[in-house]
A and B are shown apart, each in its own frame.
Chain A
Amino acid sequence: MSKEQTPLWEVFVRARRGLSHTHVGSLHAPDAELALRNARDLYTRRQEGVSIWVVPASAITASSPDEKDAFFDPAADKVYRHPTFYEVPDGVAHL
C-alpha cells in the first residue's frame, strides 16, 4: 500500500557556485516539495551545498553495465577527437 505512497527520489546537490550538481543519494517522499525539504535536512546539514535538485527515480533511465562495452566503445576508435592526436610542426607557438 505505502509503496506508492512515498516514491523514491534521487537527490543532486551543487556544492558551490560554478560547480555542477552531484548525485548525493536518494530518499522517499510523497511529493517533490517534501522531497526537497527532506533532502535539505538529510544531505545539507553541514553546508554541503547551495542548490538541490530532486528527481523521481522512475524518471531516470540508466545505461546497462552489460552493454557497457558496446555502448561506449565507439569512442575508442575515434582518437582524432582528442587534441593530442594532431601533430604540431616544430616552432609553432600558442597552439
Chain B
Amino acid sequence: MYGNDFAPPEEGPGGGLLGEVEAAEAALREAAARARRGGPAPDEDLEAYFADVIDADQKIEPRDWMPEAYRKTLIRQIAQHAHSEIIGMQPEGNWISRAPSLKRKAILLAKVQDEAGHGLYLYAAAETLGVSRDELVELLIEGRQKYSSIFNYPTLTWADVGAIGWLVDGAAIVNQVPLCRCSYGPYARAMIRVCKEESFHQRQGYEILHTLAHGTPEQKAMAQDAVDRWWYPSLAMFGPPDGDSTHSAQSMAWKIKRFSNDELRQRFVDMCVQQAEILGLTIPDPGLRWNEERQAYDYTQPDYDELTRVIKGDGPCNRQRMAHRRGAHEEGAWVREAAAAHAAKRAEKNKEKVAA
C-alpha cells in the first residue's frame, strides 16, 4: 500500500520505500567495508582523488578533501532541510491542543518531537562541514536561508494533519529515500534515520484520512477538502521543473542528488493515485490519467509561479512562521543565558573540588 507500486530496489529487503532505505543502509556499510585504503597519494591531484571516490560510489567523510563548491552546496541543502524540519513543527503544532482524541494527540506530540529530532540530526550533519548551528539559525532568522515552501500553508482543519502526514511527509520520503545514497556520508546516515521515522508519519497521516473518509459524510468532506488544498503544494515540494532547476546538474554529477525533480514528482504521483483510491478520496486533478505508453500517470503540473512567490516570502503563512520562530529565539535568550551561567558555575565548582 505504501509505494509498492514501483519497482523494488535491486535485492532490497522488502519492497517499497522502507525497503529502499534498508538497501541504502546495507550499501552504506558495504561502501565503508571496501573503502579505498588511505587518503590520496602525496603526488595525487586532490580533485582527481575526490572524483575517484565519488565514481566508486564511496562516501565523502568530514575530514576528506572536497571542492569548495561541493561543501557550499551541501551546507545550503542540509541547512535548508534542517530549517524545514524546525519550521514544519508549526503547522502541525497548531493542532496539538485541539486533537480530537487523546490517542491522536499523543501520536501528534510524538510526531512533532520527531521533527525536532530530524532538525537536530540535520544540523549536526551540516556542522560536520565546518559551519556552526548558531550561524545557521542566525541565517534562517535573518531570512537569508530558506525552508520548504510547503510549511507556508495553513492547517485549517484536523484533516489537514492527516493530509500533511500522507502527502507532505509522503513527498518528503520520496525525495529523501534517494538521499540515503548521497555521496556525503553524514548526510546519507542522517537520511536513513529520518526516513525510517518519516514512514511512521506518513502512515499515521494516511490512517487519519482513512478513518475520516470512512466516517460521517461531514468527516469525509473534511478529508477531501484537506486533500484538495494540500495536493498541489505537495507536488511543488519537488522543486521547479527540470528545465528551471539551478543546482540540479552539478548535484547529480556529485551524486548528492540521484533523480531529477520531475522524476521524483512522477514517482510520487504514481504512488498516490492508488493510495487515494483505497482512501476513497479524489485527487483534485481533472487531467490525471494513466498513460499506457509511458506506464505512468499524466498529471497537471503545479503552479510554479505560485511556488516562486511562496519561496520568495509571499505565501499565506511566511510572515507568521518567521515571526513565531524569531519570537521563540528572542524570548528564549534569557533561558539560554541562564543555562550557560549555571553550567559555568558548576564547572567552576568542579574545578575547585578537583583542586582541593
B127 and A8 within 8 A (CB): yes
B-facing residues in A1-50 (Cβ within 8 Å)? 2-6, 8, 25-28, 30-31, 34, 41-42, 45
Give the CA-CA distance A46 to B64 in the complex, in Å: 32
Cβ 8 A contact of B127, one of A26, A62, A67: A26
The answer to whether A31 touches B342, judged by C-beta atoms less than 8 angstroms apart, is yes
A66 within 8 A of B: yes
Q: Are B113 and A45 within 8 A (Cβ)?
A: yes
Contact A27 B124 (CB under 8 A): yes
Q: How far is the CB of A35 from chain B (nearest CB, A)?
A: 10
In Å, the complex CA distance between A5 and B133 comes to: 12
Q: A5-B339, A5-B340 are in contact. Are A68 and B37 (CB under 8 A)?
A: yes
Nearest Cβ on chain A to B112's Cβ, whole angstroms: 12
Binds A, one of B94-102, B114-122, B168-176, B271-279: B114-122
Contact of A30 with B39 in the complex, beta carbons under 8 Å? no
Task: Chain B residues near A2: list those with CB within 8 A.
Answer: 134, 336, 340
Docked CA distance A65–B40 (Å): 9
Instruction: Say yes or no for A87: interface residue by CB 8 A criterion.
Output: no
The residue that A28 contacts in the complex, of B133, B337, B346, with Cβ under 8 A, is: B133
A5 and B336 within 8 A (CB): yes
In whole angstroms, how far apart are the Cα atoms of A66 and B347 in the complex?
A: 35
Q: Which residues, 309 to 356 on B, are CB-close (under 8 Å) to A?
A: 336-337, 339-340, 342-343, 346-347
A65 and B117 within 8 A (CB): no
Which B residue's beta carbon lies closest to that of A67? B39
* Assembled-state Cα–Cα distance A31/B110 (Å): 25
Whose C-beta in chain B lies nearest to the C-beta of A11? B124
Instruction: Name which residue of chain A comes closest to B124, CB basis.
Output: A26
- Quick check: B38 and A41 within 8 Å, CB to CB? no
| Closest CB in chain A relative to B166 CB, distance in Å | 22
Contact (Cβ within 8 A) B132 A3: yes
Given known pairs A62-B63, A69-B37, A69-B39, the reply for A25 and B342 (CB within 8 Å) is no
For residue B345, which residue of chain A has the nearest CB? Answer: A31
B52 is an interface residue with CB less than 8 A from chain A: no
Q: Which residues of A contact B37 (CB under 8 A)?
A: 68-69
A34: chain B residues within 8 A (beta carbon) = 339, 343
Let me know if B303 is at the binding interface, CB within 8 A: no
B285 interface residue (CB < 8 Å to A): no
Taking the complex as formed, is B242 at the interface, i.e. its CB lies under 8 A from any CB of chain A?
no
Assess whether B55 is interfacial by the CB under 8 Å rule.
no
Q: Which residue of B lies closest to A42 (CB)?
A: B117
The yes or no answer to B30 lying at the interface (CB within 8 A) is: no
Contacting pair B342 A30 (CB below 8 A) = yes
| A68 CA / B39 CA spacing, docked (Å) | 7
Cβ 8 A contact of A65, one of B63, B113, B114, B127: B63
| A65-B340 contact, Cβ under 8 Å, with A26-B127, A31-B346, A45-B117 | no
Contact, CB under 8 Å: A6 / B124: no
Kindly list chain B residues whose C-beta atoms are within 8 Å of the C-beta of A42.
117, 120-121
Interface residues of A in 57-74 (CB under 8 A from B): 62, 64-69, 72
Q: How far is the CA of A85 from the CA of B113 in the complex (A)?
A: 53
Q: Compute how far the CA of A69 lies from the CA of B39 in the bound complex, rounded to whole angstroms.
A: 7
**Chain A residues positioned under 8 Å from B342 (CB to CB):** 30-31
Residue on A nearest B193 in the bound complex, by CB: A25
Q: Does B142 contact A (CB under 8 A)?
A: no
Given contacts A4-B340, A30-B336, A42-B121, 5 further A-B contacts (CB under 8 A): A2-B336, A5-B339, A65-B63, A68-B39, A69-B38
The 5 A-B pairs of least Cβ separation, nearest first, read A31-B343, A69-B38, A5-B340, A30-B339, A30-B343
Give the A-binding residues of B (Cβ under 8 A). 37-39, 61, 63-64, 110, 113-114, 117, 120-121, 124, 127, 132-134, 336-337, 339-340, 342-343, 346-347
Question: What are 20 A-B pairs with beta-carbon distances under 8 A?
Answer: A3-B132, A5-B337, A5-B339, A5-B340, A6-B340, A25-B121, A26-B124, A27-B124, A30-B339, A30-B342, A31-B339, A31-B343, A31-B347, A34-B343, A41-B113, A41-B117, A42-B120, A45-B117, A69-B39, A72-B38
